[in-house]
């Protein structure tokens, strides 16, 4: 029994289809990351589950119960908004207890539940404060505590970390993961940030233009993307994408020559190579490439090169000495090359 299920869900806004034929099941206690660029339909999917929007077709179930026609109040889900949606005139405690009070929980139970939820997110010392007296990270904790206090069947999180600064985002991400593991709660986590999706999600669902592209474990989404979109969207910097030309038993992809797989001869192909798979050498084998830009980021170095008139990005160890304008030699192992159908974008083979 799925904690949250989408069956053939479609959402149209006038002539625009925001979501088409979504089939998706979130397991009990699972944290599913819903990731995609803006306009991909990820927030729509979340709002449909919450009941804030009505489906155009299909059905939604929570805990095996069809909730498609139920109002938000009857679905027993909690939501954390990107803007936190804290009531500015209420204290943190009143914000956390808002839903409980609205549902008529007796006062003596109320304060206990509020404190319990606040302690889980580490905001128990902020309870008397108003939202304007809290920092962004503290507000985020209060919003999360409010979602927890209700003990819902499903947590819906809409980009909850995107208003935090980088360091805090990483810390809070880890905290959220711990919290999820501890509570074993079912969560749907919407984000446009693929790193967040990969690090947080038990599984990752990639959406693009209203269509579910791939639903898989984070590792699988990264290693075995089903199409060019997923391959390019997951991973930073994006996978290098090269047009190919067949010649005998070989495929020319920019500066690289790779063996031409059998059975794919009829189609026009594109080759994808992740930056970490571009091999750099000072001399010897490989095609010469000119170093254009070097970005040192401490634990790794990103190198932008031009080889045979094609731009490439490579991830190198920080120990490699590089100077702009120098010539390096680039190569790739055939097993690290992805091949896509140039028309449909579908992944045809990873030579792995």
Residues that bind another protein in the complex, under the rule CB under 8 A: 50-52, 71-75, 77-79, 81, 83, 85, 87-90, 98-99, 102-103, 130, 132, 150
Choose between 130 and 223: whose C-beta lies nearer to another protein: 130
Whichever of 130 and 267 has its CB closer to another protein, that residue is 130
Nearer of residues 79 and 230 to another protein, judged by Cβ? 79
CB of 188 to another protein, least distance (A): 14
Residue with smaller CB distance to another protein, 150 or 169:
150
Closest separation in Å from C-beta 183 to another protein: 19
CB of 155 to another protein, least distance (A): 11
Of 86 and 332, which has the nearer Cβ to another protein?
86
In whole angstroms, the minimum distance from the beta carbon of 79 to another protein comes to: 5
In the complex, least distance from residue 50 CB atom to another protein, rounded to whole angstroms: 6
138/75 Cα distance (integer angstroms): 28
**What's the burial of 203, exposed, middle or buried (CB within 10 Å: 0-12/13-18/19+)?**
buried
Which residues lie below 8 Å from residue 88, measured CB to CB, with a gap of 6+?
A: 130, 131, 132
CB of 2 to another protein, least distance (A): 20
Nearest CB to another protein, comparing residues 73 and 326: 73
């Amino acid at each position: 029994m799925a904690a949250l299920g989408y069956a053939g869900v479609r959402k149209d806004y006038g002539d625009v289809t925001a979501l088409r034929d979504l089939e998706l099941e979130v397991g009990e206690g699972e944290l599913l990351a819903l990731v995609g660029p803006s306009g991909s339909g990820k927030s729509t999917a979340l709002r449909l589950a919450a009941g804030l929007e009505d489906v155009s077709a299909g059905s939604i179930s929570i805990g095996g119960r069809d909730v498609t026609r139920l109002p938000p109040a009857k679905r027993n889900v909690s939501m954390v908004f990107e803007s936190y949606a804290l009531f500015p005139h209420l204290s943190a405690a009143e914000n956390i207890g808002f839903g409980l009070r609205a549902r008529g929980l007796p006062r003596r139970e109320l304060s206990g539940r509020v404190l319990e939820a606040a302690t889980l997110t580490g905001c128990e010392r902020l309870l008397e404060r108003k939202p304007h007296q809290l920092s962004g990270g503290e507000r985020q904790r209060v919003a999360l505590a409010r979602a927890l206090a209700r003990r819902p069947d499903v947590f819906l999180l809409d980009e909850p970390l995107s208003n935090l600064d980088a360091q805090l985002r990483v810390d809070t991400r880890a905290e959220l993961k711990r919290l999820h593991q501890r509570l074993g709660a079912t969560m749907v986590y919407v984000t446009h940030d693929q790193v967040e999706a990969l690090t947080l999600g038990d599984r990752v669902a990639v959406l693009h233009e209203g269509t579910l592209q791939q639903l898989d474990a984070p590792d699988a989404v990264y290693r075995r993307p089903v199409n060019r979109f997923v391959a390019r969207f997951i991973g930073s910097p994006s996978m290098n994408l090269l047009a190919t030309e067949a010649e005998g038993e070989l495929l020319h992809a920019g500066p690289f020559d790779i063996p031409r797989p059998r059975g794919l001869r009829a189609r026009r192909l594109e080759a994808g190579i992740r930056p970490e798979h571009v091999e750099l050498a000072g001399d010897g084998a490989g095609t010469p490439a000119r170093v254009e830009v070097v970005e040192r980021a401490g634990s790794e170095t990103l190198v932008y090169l031009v080889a045979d008139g094609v731009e490439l990005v490579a991830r190198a160890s920080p120990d490699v000495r590089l100077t702009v304008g120098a010539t390096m030699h680039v190569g790739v192992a055939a097993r690290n090359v992805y091949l896509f159908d140039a028309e449909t974008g579908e992944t045809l083979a990873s030579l792995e």
